[in-house]
């Protein structure tokens, strides 16, 4: 729900109260170019924690293109109610700021987890669990004609063994067909960009397949398969050695290596598509028990259900 509200009160404790619903604390969870993310909670029930993205609507962030991108991100997120996609709860717009209220993930992100992992290498079972949850999320996104364009470890949040796609700032809908290459803006993070984005040629939803393949490889072996300082450097390495190579150690099953190989095929038209990935038996049994116990289609996890019930009971919406 997007609405205008001018009732912003500053309390003496250093927290901000937004209208009669939310309290934003001074505990900063993250910071980007145009936004800061703070810990918050429901005013009526402080035990219900939320993440609050605060965006300044001035300077560069007030230009029409930025606001259009922000609007698109909000409208895309509003469509999803899935345990592996970060939940959007509410949006409040003031004259000079916008607040986006999101599900909070207490366990950080995959980038942090990789950094803290010994030798930055993960067991195959854990990698399969992560990939299978991402596949579940992308199935819903594919059905809604949405591509992410910036899938990377920093944009995969973690909450109690659940991996959640976040930051839909570069996401967009494809109306020309998900598997038909289109001339789109070059967004993303170079290490995880598909070759088509790196060299500025048309690409399809398979750009996200490539990114997920890179992340899976990185978790298994400690580094992405191709490394470079700049986008041209990375593209050169990919074109120079187009077939992904797997070290002998650690040992990884042939099934997973074959899947990653197909995900990291250079040409868009030859790379495995999402529908083919969805049909793979490789990921079907790799869900955590907390997901197996729930009917996950179009239903939030228990934390989200609790929060949504609180919204409805306290505020009637």
**Exposure of 26 by Cβ count < 10 A (0-12 exposed, 13-18 middle, 19+ buried)?**
exposed
* Least trusted range by pLDDT, from 39-43, 236-240, 297-301: 297-301
With 60 as the cut, is the pLDDT of residue 291 above it? Answer: no
Q: What percent of the chain has pLDDT over 90?
A: 65
Question: Which parts of the chain fold into alpha helices (H)?
Answer: 64-77, 110-116, 124-143, 195-199, 206-221, 231-240, 254-263, 274-279, 289-292, 302-315
Cβ–Cβ under 8 Å, residues 128 and 75: no
Q: Over the stretch 84-104, which tens digit does the pLDDT of each residue have? A: 999 999 999 888 889 999 999
With 70 as the cut, is the pLDDT of residue 1 above it? Answer: no
Which residue matches tokens 């030859």? 270
CA distance 227 to 286: 29
Q: Of residues 90, 109, 150, 208, which has the active-site annotation?
A: 150
CA distance 104 to 81: 15
* Angle ∠(69,207,169) on CA atoms, nearest 5: 20
How far is CA 279 from each of CA 126, 144, 295, 306, rounded to the nearest angstrom?
20, 18, 19, 32
- pTM, to two decimals: 0.84
Output the pLDDT for position 139. 97
Identify the structural domains of the chain with CATH numbers, from first to last: 2-104 (3.30.200.20), 110-292 (1.10.510.10)
- H/E segment holding residue 118: none
With 60 as the cut, is the pLDDT of residue 63 above it? Answer: yes
Cβ–Cβ under 8 Å, residues 206 and 271: yes
With 50 as the cut, is the pLDDT of residue 201 above it? Answer: yes
How confident is the model over 46-51, as a mean pLDDT? 93
How, if at all, do strands 162-165 and 156-159 pair? antiparallel
Look at residue 51 and give its three-state secondary structure: strand
With 50 as the cut, is the pLDDT of residue 141 above it? Answer: yes
Of 29, 26, 297, nearest in space to 159 by CA? 29
Q: How confident is the model at residue 21 (pLDDT cuts 50, 70, 90)?
A: confident
How confident is the model over 108-135, as a mean pLDDT? 95
CA distance 55 to 33: 10
User: Distance from first CA to last CA of the chain, Å, rounded?
Assistant: 9
Distance of alpha carbon 135 from the chain centroid: 12
74 — phi, psi (to 5°)?
A: -65, -45
Structure tokens at 65: 């293109």
Tell me the helices (H) and strands (E) count for the chain, helix number first: 10, 12
Output the pLDDT for position 276. 97
With 80 as the cut, is the pLDDT of residue 105 above it? Answer: yes
Structure tokens at 18: 């937004």
* Least trusted range by pLDDT, from 246-255, 260-269, 293-302: 293-302
Structure tokens at 102: 């999101």
* Least trusted range by pLDDT, from 3-17, 18-32, 53-67: 3-17
Which residue matches tokens 């993303």? 188
How confident is the model over 9-30, as a mean pLDDT? 72
Q: Over the stretch 118-128, which tens digit does the pLDDT of each residue have? A: 888 999 999 99
Output the pLDDT for position 19. 63
Mean pLDDT of the chain: 84
Residue 150 known to be catalytic: yes
Q: Over the stretch 155-168, which tens digit does the pLDDT of each residue have? A: 999 999 999 999 99
Q: How confident is the model at residue 67 (pLDDT cuts 50, 70, 90)?
A: confident
CA distance 133 to 123: 16
Output the pLDDT for position 15. 64
Q: How confident is the model at residue 133 (pLDDT cuts 50, 70, 90)?
A: very high
Structure tokens at 149: 């364009």
């Amino acid at each position: 729900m997007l609405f205008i509200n001018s009732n912003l009160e500053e309390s003496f404790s250093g927290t901000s109260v937004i209208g009669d619903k939310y309290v934003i604390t001074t505990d900063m969870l993250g910071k980007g170019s145009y936004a800061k993310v703070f810990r918050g909670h429901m005013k009526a029930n402080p035990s219900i924690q939320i993440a609050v993205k605060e965006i300044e609507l001035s300077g560069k962030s007030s230009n029409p293109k930025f606001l259009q991108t922000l609007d698109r991100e909000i409208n895309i997120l509003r469509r999803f109610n899935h345990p592996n996609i970060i939940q959007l709860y509410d949006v409040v717009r003031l004259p000079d700021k916008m607040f986006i209220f999101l599900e909070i993930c207490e366990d950080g992100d995959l980038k942090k987890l990789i950094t803290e992992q010994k030798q930055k290498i993960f067991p195959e079972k854990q990698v399969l669990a992560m990939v299978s949850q991402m596949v579940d999320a992308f199935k819903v996104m594919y059905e809604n004609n949405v591509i992410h364009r910036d899938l990377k470890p920093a944009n995969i949040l973690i909450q109690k063994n659940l991996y959640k796609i976040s930051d839909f700032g570069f996401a967009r809908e494809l109306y020309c067909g998900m598997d038909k290459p289109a001339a789109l803006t070059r967004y993303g993070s170079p290490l995880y960009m598909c070759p088509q984005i790196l060299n500025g040629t048309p690409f399809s939803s398979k750009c996200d397949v490539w990114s997920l393949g890179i992340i899976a490889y990185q978790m298994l072996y400690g580094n992405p398969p191709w490394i470079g300082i700049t986008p041209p450097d990375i593209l050169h390495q990919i074109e120079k050695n187009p077939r992904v190579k797997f070290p002998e150690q650690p040992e990884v099953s042939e099934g997973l290596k074959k899947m990653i190989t197909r995900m990291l095929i250079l040409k868009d038209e030859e790379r495995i598509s999402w529908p083919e990935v969805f049909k793979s038996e490789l990921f079907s049994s790799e869900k955590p028990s907390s997901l197996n116990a729930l009917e996950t289609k179009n239903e939030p996890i228990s934390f989200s259900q609790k929060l949504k019930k609180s919204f409805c009971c306290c505020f009637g919406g």
